[in-house]
Amino acid sequence: MDIGVIGVNHKSADLNFREKLAKNFQRNEVRNFLHSFAKVILFTCNRFEVYFHSPNLTRAHSSLLHDFTQEFNLTSSYKLYSYFGKDCFFHLSKVTSGIDSAVLAETEIQGQVKKAYLDAQDRCNKELHFLFQKSLKIGKKMRQELKIGSDIPNLISTTLDVIQEKVKGKKLLFIGASETNYKIIKRLKVNNFQISLSNRTDAKGALMADELGIDYLNWKSLNYWNGFDGIICATNCPYYLLTGKDKILKPKLILDLSVPRDVDPKIGQHDLVQLFNIDQMNKMVRKNRKLELPHISALSQKVYSQVCTQHNIFINKDAKLESLQVI
């Protein structure tokens, strides 16, 4: 299979590095550095990966690595990892299975991979179609073997716990009409708080606020964030939304669940502010789970076995088609 992946994740790069990568990617709408490759781009809070196809993987990878570092102004290309052929297939299957996640067996990644693939279908060839379809299938099967119930702590439930424990008042502001914020608000005990939502696209934000039965704060009024007791940010904005120019007059909790970050880290230095970023929240989730999977190595082997089976099917089918074309 003439496929490869180049990227970074929470294990190979810290939040600052991933944030820089994400900001540059979001600002570069043309992305000319990828023009010659069939590709799928997987971009989440914990990883940034480019899956690509080329008949000459060595040359393609060298070109892509060069353009990647130049386009994103990276001086630390050693933080990037690469896999090819069956190893690339194995890597993506571990990703879809949740084995490679910041929080073991987290469920969101399956949907994120599927969305990345669906968004890029017109740029995929048969190798990439096969890679993503089979990796998603393997991931689904392995998740069933993990048998992790819905009561296991995750980012949403941990965020709810932190809000209940640390917010000293009743006024909450959610910034971003994202799926993450939607899930948090949906499960929050609304009667215990006065909840407002703000979003860069007012129409979308107002619609979500109306559905959830909460107040909507016009985006132009976001500078009133200092009046809230708790602020939860989950957007894809490439710049800081909260910069700390205003005086902090009362205690507040700020949860920044975004990459790039929505909140200037300097705000966290204020005595009245408790600020947690996405990596700190994931660390809490892992601690809350206390989930040990001694069979994780065996599960990884099962993933590899499935990958080998599907890889052989693809190679044999491809070889058969080539022989028929020769005949």
Active site residues: 45
> 258: closest CA among 244, 238, 274?
238
213 contact partners, CB below 8 Å, separation of at least 6: 190
324, burial (CB in 10 Å: exposed 0-12, middle 13-18, buried 19+): exposed
Question: Distance between CA 172 and CA 195 in Å, rounded?
Answer: 5
